[in-house]
Amino acid sequence: MHLRCTCMRGNGMKEYQPASIEPKWQVAWNENSVFDSDVDENKPKFYCLEMFPYPSGKMHMGHVRNYSIGDSMARFRRLAGYNVLYPMGYDSFGLPAENAARKIGGHPHDVTWSNIESIRTDLNRMGFSYDWRRELATSNSTYYHWNQWIFLKFYEMGLVVRRTAPTNWCDSCDTVLANEQVKNNRCWRCADEVRQKYFPSWWLKMTNYADELLDELDNIEFPENVKAMQRNWIGRSHGADICFSVIESDEIIKVFTTRPDTIFGVTFVTLAPEHTLCETLVTGTEYEADYRELADECARMSEFDRINMLKEKKGVFLGRYATNPLTGKELPIYAGNFVVGSYGTGAVMAVPGHDQRDHDFAKKYDIQIVQVLSEEEGKEPKVTGRAFEGLGWMVNSGQPRFDGLYGEEAKSAIIEELKSKGMGGGTTQYRLKDWLLSRQRFWGTPIPFIHCNECGMIPVPENDLPIELPLEVVFTEGESGNPLASHEGFVNTNCPKCGSPAKRETDTMDTFYDSSWYFLRFTDAQNQSAPFNKSKADYWMENGVDLYIGGIEHAVMHLLYARFFTKALRDAGLNDVSEPFSRLVCQGMVNAPTPYCTECNVEHHVDLDGQQCPLCDNKLGSRSAKMSKSLGNTVSPEIMIEKYGADTVRLFILFGANPEAGMEWSDSAIDSNFKQMNSIYGALIQAIEIAEDPSLKSNSSGEKWLLARARLNSKNWAEYMTNVSLRDGVMLSHFEMLSDWQWAQRRGEISCDGAMQFLKIWVPMLYPTTPHLAEEIWELMGNNLMLAQTNMDMDSEKDDGDRIILSREEYLRKVIDRARSVRELAERHTEGELSKVIIQTAQEWKINLATSAISMLQDGFDFKEGGNKFLHTQPCFQNEDIRAEVMQYWRSIVIGQKKRRGRIYTWGMRENDLISGELEEVSFLKENSQFIADALGVPIVDVYQAGDGEDIAGKARNSIPLEPGIAWQ
């Protein structure tokens, strides 16, 4: 496949050859270390980061998209004079490498390393501008050493706990999982069902930070849906703990409720089946058998279809009663399958009048339903057959001082009452759990603890770190379990405290631990004596990573862990910053067409393209779906780079959709982007040829316009880029700028100076997204310093005269457009060939009226009130021949018709300038009559002010300022 533009326009045009340009500049950048950056207090910093890749194979299109966005932003910020930190690394611990090693009989280290090599090669071929000195891989002991060090710090801070508790166990992955890693009761990685298992595990007390994690969301720029997911996940709810004492027993049932205001409507109490009190109450009674049945069913729950389980509310009476602390009323105690043991206190007070679940339950088991809130102030509650769950006015409390209280007031009153009786109080519950950190697998950071029979669990002394993973381990297929546990050399050690023989902890850390602070390590990646130097971290991390780009799939997991970590490390005194990422951009999916059956709503492998659905025999259609190996609809970046070059792939990716939107892979679209690159290249070469010819000295209005346009585009472009609106930016840099150049070419000669000025504006705009092409042209322009080393002033104010130049040209284009739009009709109404265009500009009196009206409007004149009066004083109004026209015109500029407002309101500043003297329409059009004639393909263009010549087709009447009457003959 050759990277050759087969079209040859102009003379001596060079070909666009990315295959030679791209490696050339990649080498040049590399040799000059232009992307290395260090702390520099004199420059504003910009930390641009992408979620680093998990090296599971080659680079895929998702990576290409992610990093093309980041690289453009990094390059743009460098160009704008920022000190940019833009690093790359590999999240290289984890199960897939271990499984792969098991399959091929090697060591995960080797598998991981060869994948890293491959990805690094691909990254370089795309021309991404990383500071490679900072490259890191989390599976290197130089990195995980500090994982362990931090873990010990957390231990000292009391953030690490080891406890035996119910955990989520995945059989297929052979390990426990954190709460965040379980989706719909399935493992996030392998989708196997998760079951509960009692297990001694290591936890990080993330819940200590629940409030800060939640509240700080308001101050960071994350997409709304990510914030919503995190809020949801943390799940803070304010409410009350209320104690119900069990009758004929010392036991107390503590419940959590968000609705203490409904306490007078409690008619029973429900415990989670796994609640310890159930056993105590029921053992040895006639109710025991029923209870056991329910409890067993719930314990097996994960094996059942979740949907079925959700439908049926079940419970059993436990044979005992509790008392309502405020009324003393006796309430039956039930165990119910819908009460979650791990949330709140694992017990709920049931208010069937005001909670639909309790209502259903009460109906089913024939329990009393009491309404204690009214929807309307001062009225009795309505009987509806459903629970009223909204806030309401308290009634039927039996204690008059509560009746009539509403909402929050009612809640606080109850809470106060409970407090005073010592039976409860206000409290806050979270859905967020502590982070279950330990994994029973090999390929992760060993947890630096030692089990000693004498001394118990002892942290490894800091000086003994890192505890390295042994390399002499062989993985074989079909063998499960953690090879660390059976590795004598690893496991056996001595107690650091008493010296007696002891065993090492063989659990390793969740790989999300690794990625929870890598952005801090990047600020000082080579540090051998600490995770990172504080002042370096504080410099680069001030206000957090400025732009963090990655997939939405980490909305809860990685992004929450990293936020927690940054706060915990801050409290450990390692850094000042509290929020790791100040702005998050989640790039959309890269989709591609895949066969799809509308009947079955199933996507199929591309091998079935054009065939019948294997499930229902219908003919398969096509639909867009996320690129995936299983559907086979992937496109290899390598092949595309080889075919079109990295710059075209980048252009396609960035132009295809704005970063957050999903995008569609399309062979024809990338092809047309390649054409675009060729056109741009052709235009650039042409511009350089002009720039090199000093005999070209024209100073045409086309040239002035081109430069004014370029200044405007460049300014807008910088704004778009700053906002990460890359698609809009690319639209200007790679599309508008080219078509402006082409328009200017048609408008007249460009001088050598003009061409050079244009290039100086355009080429830097091309640089962030298609850097190789830009560098190549920049060099041809005679620059010694590479663009990669160049800073640009991005806030250059545009020339004041630009506005006029641009609006004059816009006027010209509008006139031509209008002429075109009436041409077809004119043809129908005219016999023979059209040979002439007659343009009649507005009469002088129209211009005068418009000018007056504009300035009167600026002075706040009320046209409805005094418009006619003013008109009557005007000289043109005195002429009876045109009085009707004058009135009609006046109305159209100061009042307007139906949907269209009067022109004086719709004319902008530009138009006002033109009308009030910046544009002599007749002379301007006359100057450009040859161009207009060419554009319209007509030999003669006649221009005069209405009245100065014959009124062709009655157009004089239609003419208004800036909208001349146009007729064809």
Partner RNA sequence: GCAGGGAUACCCGAGCUGGUCAAAGGGGCCGGACUUAAGCUCCGGUGCUAAUCGCUUCGUGGGUUCAAAUCCCACUCCCUGCACCA
Q: Which of residues 300-359 bind RNA (CB under 7 A)?
A: 309-310, 312-314, 337-341, 343-346, 348-349, 355, 357
Q: Which stretch binds RNA (CB under 7 A): 364-372, 394-402, 671-679, 762-770?
A: 671-679
Measured CA to CA, the distance from residue 647 to residue 499 in angstroms comes to: 62
Measured CA to CA, the distance from residue 538 to residue 532 in angstroms comes to: 10
If one asks whether residue 820 binds RNA (CB under 7 A), the answer comes out as yes
Burial of 958 (0-12, 13-18, 19+ CB in 10 A): middle
Report the nearest approach of RNA to the CB of residue 729 (Å).
12
Name which of residues 478 to 507 contact RNA (CB under 7 A): none
Measured CA to CA, the distance from residue 552 to residue 662 in angstroms comes to: 12
Report the nearest approach of RNA to the CB of residue 512 (Å).
15
Report the nearest approach of RNA to the CB of residue 601 (Å).
8
Q: Which stretch binds RNA (CB under 7 A): 110-118, 282-290, 325-333, 821-829?
A: 821-829
Name which of residues 377 to 436 contact RNA (CB under 7 A): 429, 431
Measured CA to CA, the distance from residue 567 to residue 159 in angstroms comes to: 12
If one asks whether residue 297 binds RNA (CB under 7 A), the answer comes out as no
If one asks whether residue 218 binds RNA (CB under 7 A), the answer comes out as no
If one asks whether residue 829 binds RNA (CB under 7 A), the answer comes out as yes
DSSP-derived letter for residue 80 is T
Nearest to RNA of 755, 946 (CB atom)? 946
Using omega within 30 degrees of 0 as the cis cutoff, is the peptide bond preceding 501 cis? no
Question: Residue 592 forms beta bridges with which residues?
Answer: 625
Report the nearest approach of RNA to the CB of residue 425 (Å).
15
Nearest to RNA of 2, 829 (CB atom)? 829
Burial of 595 (0-12, 13-18, 19+ CB in 10 A): buried
SS3 of 768-794: CCCHHHHHHHHHHCCCCCCHHHCCCCC
Nearest to RNA of 541, 952 (CB atom)? 952
Q: Which stretch binds RNA (CB under 7 A): 66-74, 656-664, 712-720, 787-795?
A: 656-664
If one asks whether residue 675 binds RNA (CB under 7 A), the answer comes out as yes
Nearest to RNA of 29, 652 (CB atom)? 652
Encoded one letter per residue, x for contact with RNA by CB under 7 A and - for no contact, window 165-204 reads: ------------------xx--------------------
Long-range contacts of range 9-16, CB-CB < 8 Å, 24 or more positions apart? 9/682, 10/682, 10/686, 12/689, 13/682, 13/685, 13/686, 14/681, 14/685, 16/677, 16/678, 16/681, 16/682, 16/773
Nearest to RNA of 1, 310 (CB atom)? 310
Report the nearest approach of RNA to the CB of residue 819 (Å).
8
Burial of 325 (0-12, 13-18, 19+ CB in 10 A): buried
Give, for 34, the enclosing helix (H) or strand (E).
none
479, 824, 859, 865: which one binds RNA (CB under 7 A): 824
If one asks whether residue 835 binds RNA (CB under 7 A), the answer comes out as no
If one asks whether residue 11 binds RNA (CB under 7 A), the answer comes out as no
Report the nearest approach of RNA to the CB of residue 864 (Å).
11
Query: How many DSSP H helices and E strands does the chain contain?
Result: 34, 36
Measured CA to CA, the distance from residue 865 to residue 873 in angstroms comes to: 15
At which residue do the structure tokens 């989390």 appear?
Answer: 138
Name which of residues 727 to 786 contact RNA (CB under 7 A): 731, 735, 739, 742-743
Measured CA to CA, the distance from residue 914 to residue 921 in angstroms comes to: 9
Name which of residues 61 to 100 contact RNA (CB under 7 A): none
Report the nearest approach of RNA to the CB of residue 263 (Å).
11
Report the nearest approach of RNA to the CB of residue 714 (Å).
18
Question: Residue 545 forms beta bridges with which residues?
Answer: 581
At which residue do the structure tokens 């109305």 appear?
Answer: 891
Nearest to RNA of 78, 259 (CB atom)? 259
If one asks whether residue 830 binds RNA (CB under 7 A), the answer comes out as yes
Beta strands in 401-487 (DSSP E): 424-429, 435-436, 438-439, 449-452, 456-459
Burial of 374 (0-12, 13-18, 19+ CB in 10 A): buried
Residue type, 193: E
Residue type, 916: S
Report the nearest approach of RNA to the CB of residue 80 (Å).
23
556, 653, 759, 871: which one binds RNA (CB under 7 A): 556
If one asks whether residue 894 binds RNA (CB under 7 A), the answer comes out as no
Burial of 956 (0-12, 13-18, 19+ CB in 10 A): buried
DSSP string of 530-553, one letter each residue: SS--HHHHHHHHTTSBSEEEE-GG
Nearest to RNA of 312, 844 (CB atom)? 312
455, 485, 669, 781: which one binds RNA (CB under 7 A): 669
Note whether 383 and 352 are within 8 A (CB): no
Q: Which stretch binds RNA (CB under 7 A): 14-22, 193-201, 669-677, 864-872?
A: 669-677
Q: What is the dihedral of CA 720, 722, 726, 727, to 10 degrees?
A: -10
Measured CA to CA, the distance from residue 823 to residue 820 in angstroms comes to: 5
Nearest to RNA of 311, 529 (CB atom)? 311
Q: Which tokens belong to 491?
A: 């496991």
Nearest to RNA of 142, 892 (CB atom)? 892
32, 33, 636, 906: which one binds RNA (CB under 7 A): 906
272, 316, 495, 744: which one binds RNA (CB under 7 A): 272
Report the nearest approach of RNA to the CB of residue 854 (Å).
14
Name which of residues 916 to 955 contact RNA (CB under 7 A): 952-953, 955
Report the nearest approach of RNA to the CB of residue 223 (Å).
7
Q: Which stretch binds RNA (CB under 7 A): 89-97, 362-370, 578-586, 960-968?
A: 960-968
Nearest to RNA of 9, 379 (CB atom)? 9
Nearest to RNA of 150, 350 (CB atom)? 350
Name which of residues 228 to 267 contact RNA (CB under 7 A): 228-229, 231-233, 235, 237, 239, 256-259
Assign residue 439 a region: left if phi > 0, alpha if psi is -120 to 50, beta otherwise? beta
If one asks whether residue 908 binds RNA (CB under 7 A), the answer comes out as yes
Count of residues of this chain found to bind RNA when the rule CB under 7 A is applied: 91
Closest by alpha carbon to 76, among 793, 770, 768? 768
Name which of residues 688 to 727 contact RNA (CB under 7 A): none
160, 214, 473, 966: which one binds RNA (CB under 7 A): 966
Report the nearest approach of RNA to the CB of residue 240 (Å).
8
Nearest to RNA of 546, 603 (CB atom)? 603
Name which of residues 503 to 542 contact RNA (CB under 7 A): none
If one asks whether residue 869 binds RNA (CB under 7 A), the answer comes out as no
668, 695, 784, 873: which one binds RNA (CB under 7 A): 668
Measured CA to CA, the distance from residue 754 to residue 761 in angstroms comes to: 11
Nearest to RNA of 2, 828 (CB atom)? 828
Expressed in percent and rounded to 5, the helix, strand and coil fractions of the chain are: 45, 15, 35
Report the nearest approach of RNA to the CB of residue 24 (Å).
25
